[in-house]
Chain A
């Protein structure tokens, strides 16, 4: 079902495009040697270049360029062998140069695409228009002094990637799925940590509405939204607001808006008329960036298996559902964890365990995957015990809980607690004989045709063996004995 905003005049379609600003993982800044580490004291990571001292010149960081190329390749995009850094001119106290070095007419990455993983395992491909590299600005701090603002230049000059999507998204959910997938890809590539709460990933949200089939409407741009949930809220709010404006006979003003997380609304920041004239022009301090195609090929060869390919492989090789595979590949650690678990044997059982009990336990204890008390190998060990009939699935849950508490291996716990499944026919047969002897009327009823009673006999046998009897064997033996 497509997402529609219901208005008085009928249903409206929402058109969304996202500009994601992702901080590049690199040791130093885009054009200076200053560190990019998060959490340093204010103005502790500022070089002469970052502070725009007289006569200072930018020097392009090769590591950032490599990260940009990796990202472009990860977005299945065209890598432009020639790109140009330009200056975007405007005044602000946390922009020491008075311009941001960015890419404008000739970005490093051209058209690409990204696959959305939607509810129920559905997928949809959306277009990427371009990606370019640019400098981040510093931070203005307005709440430290009654009349003055403080400036922290640590972030000034840190490299950002700006990924611009086509206006291909059609609902808040798709916007959310886009960002989740983008984050997933960037993390797989190791080009951005995707930590939106630290500001390493932010989005500008372009929204317009139209009657299905109409031309594109006028859009607004909500700037710098810093969580997936907020992006979804901003889309929803903007869509409804725009529908109301249009249905009330008004016009949408092309403008920049700001998101207010306190109530999920957006408000006007500046209109198109007030928009800056950035006077972009090629930065004369930098030569055009020309890439050696061999280098691009080398980088390509080093790209890891990305979530889409991994998902395909999990479906194909492990027989997983699209949904389970999708959940398992969201991040690389998870996927790696799962693959390690599959070494225990049955990949489908492994998937059920990882996505079910294991993620459940992680969530419940508020731990990250890295902090898990049960390693992938241990979980694989548990599954191996199920597979070779050492324990039953039900016992496994008990064993898992004990593993979670103690971080011990599954077989140790099975040993210690004596939970080993009874697969000897002797004790099971003895138990069955006893039950049959004690319940002649039930035996009579079964033999008289009430075959449903088999369940009751299984239950009694399991009870008698303390749950340790191999259920398959119990079934088999019961059927034989009851048949007389």
Chain B
């Protein structure tokens, strides 16, 4: 029983099916683990009572022969998903105390599939950040430490709480959302698997919006198979989200054949960037060797507009956020700071309710949309976006997937890069292009850095071809045999 928290989802499902343990036992073990790893600050709200109630209900269903694809699996829910009856904050002060009367489509799908909610995981405020340091509820600590040091590292962001708690074995999996890399980069920093599906694969309904044309929910797990299982549970066509796409959800596990012979794996030359640490490039080379050894063919490709992706992203995402966050005005819900007049009330509420990074992006977004600057910034960024999407389209005429590093560095220390927003934004350099193109991507842990912290590689696929991405990821996972464990973990190392 003591190692229940080390199981993968697929093993836990088998165990419960065989009657080795119950959902309640599995959940209790994770509730304990959640308490034990509180120093990570991975949760904004823990919901142990809800978790145990849901686990009991799951056991009853299982006894009655109703077994969902995530039946009895305890997970963390990123606090960007609205959960009926449970506070949802987006890690902001402005939404502190907000309790939705509705359930997001994705969380609802997971509960319908039998999953159990452990709590609401911490994140960068409104999902804006790459180090989980912009949360109003404090930063999240990566369970991994550099060899010979106890200095706290960031778990990455924005889905930092989700990544940290899954890595620390305090949740079997977690939901994330990815706007420019917010699933993949923290997955890489925390040594777990993070999958950003194709834009439109998972419904955005009930997810607090950051940048609507980019936001996409996805699973964060400890294995590729778990990611496949969880994506199947999360994904659906949703009439309530006009950008959701009506394509049937396949059984993603079936894609994990282990056979990638003959597949062409694109290696984009533009992702070799000056100043990237050698260990990142070496990890990439290893990855290329693995797919080659498995019978796939690495092919050098060009994605010529890659270098414009980051600037375009930091125009488009703030532009949308500046408008999306206008609704937090103190009038109807969340924080209100009274003022002399309506405008004064707005100003005080928003000044107090939003953190610095959120304000920075609202300002940037307002600026790039304003009269006189619109064409130079916003419209140009949209054109760049089209060019980037076309780069990928062209590449996929010859290759099946694309292999790149996930992030330009391993996890950095809390306090590093903090005073330089641009350095922070560079974290997303490898993840942003696929976000702009709406394409699926996965990060898998492939080894450790020189400092003993995880390194991730990213696989990008064609639109709605999560299956090939998962298939190749599964083969690489096997080859990598990543089994290292973090220092700060439930039950200790």
Contacts and interface: CB of A to CB of B under 8 A. Distances in A.
B102 A89 contact: no
A55 B326 contact: no
A285 interface: yes
A56 B366 CA distance: 22
B204 interface: yes
Contact of A285 (B243, B332, B343, B370): B243
Interface string B331-343: 1110000000011
B369 interface: yes
Interface in B206-231: 206-209, 211-213
Given A55-B82, A59-B239, A279-B369, A91 B204 contact: no
Interface string B18-36: 0000000000000000000
Interface stretch (A94-102, A124-132, A390-398, A417-425): A94-102
B326 A97 contact: yes
Contacts of A55: 81-82, 100, 104, 204-209
A52 B332 contact: yes
A53 B326 contact: no
Contacts of A52: 327, 332
Contacts of A89: 322-323, 326, 369
A99 B206 CA distance: 19
B205 A56 contact: yes
A58 B244 CA distance: 12
Contacts, number: 97
Contacts of B88: 54
Interface in B169-218: 204-209, 211-213
A24 B125 CA distance: 39
Contact of A54 (B98, B326, B378): B98
Interface residues of B, number: 44
B261 interface: no
Nearest to B350: A91
Nearest to B330: A93
Contacts of A287: 242-243
A99 B209 CA distance: 15
A55 B104 CA distance: 8
Nearest to B213: A284
Most chain A C-beta atoms within 10 Å of own C-beta, residue among B329, B342, B370:
B329
A87 B322 CA distance: 11
A60 interface: yes
Among A56, A87, A279, A286, the one with the most B-chain Cβ atoms within 10 Å of its Cβ is A279
Nearest to A281: B369
B242 A60 contact: yes
Contacts of B205: 55-57
Nearest to A279: B369
A58 B309 CA distance: 28
Contact of A58 (B242, B333, B342, B369): B242
B242 A99 contact: no
A279 B366 contact: yes
Given A54-B327, A91-B326, A277-B371, 20 more contacts: A53-B82, A53-B102, A53-B333, A54-B98, A55-B205, A56-B205, A57-B205, A59-B242, A89-B323, A89-B369, A96-B331, A98-B327, A99-B326, A279-B323, A279-B369, A284-B212, A284-B320, A285-B209, A285-B212, A285-B243
30 contacts: A48-B101, A48-B102, A52-B327, A53-B82, A53-B102, A53-B332, A54-B82, A54-B100, A55-B205, A55-B206, A56-B205, A56-B206, A59-B242, A87-B323, A89-B322, A89-B326, A91-B326, A91-B343, A92-B342, A93-B331, A93-B342, A96-B327, A96-B331, A97-B327, A98-B323, A98-B326, A277-B370, A279-B366, A279-B371, A284-B243
